[in-house]
Structure 1
Amino acid sequence: MQGHGRVEAARQLGMTQVPCLCIDHLDDAQKRAYVLADNRIALNAGWDYTISGDVLYSLPAELPPGRRFVVGTRE
């Protein structure tokens, strides 16, 4: 139902296992309600742009070679 991005990121990092929660007991209506609630929570979360910027700026130096990307410049 979710976590596709997490799985893809784990693959790119060479991980063979990813912790997950299996919620296979939900019926179709409950699954749709869960997806809506989960998306709503994300919309309500908000961002701390200072912290997010600091994290994004520091990532290239912390990623292993071949996994780096350009975030931009900091002035």
Structure 2
Amino acid sequence: MIIRVRDQFDAYSTNTNKVLEAGIDLKTRLFSEGGDSPYANIIAVNSKRVNDPAIVALVKALKTDKTKKFIKEKYKGAVIPAK
């Protein structure tokens, strides 16, 4: 929600994906976490679905070199693929 009212603040914090969706120039940021940040988006599922073929396929797809390459090319360093 902060993106919609950002002009009312001198500074704010939000996720990179929200900044990109809003078309905000990333060069205007004051701070950005690096690749060594302990914070990352995670996939969380109900324990009953851990072995669900769709979940397993999603996790597998996110870890491929093809996906990592896509993230690097598409987001040009604004988003860092998981290791």
Query: TM-score by structure 1 length?
Result: 0.31
Query: TM-score by structure 2 length?
Result: 0.29
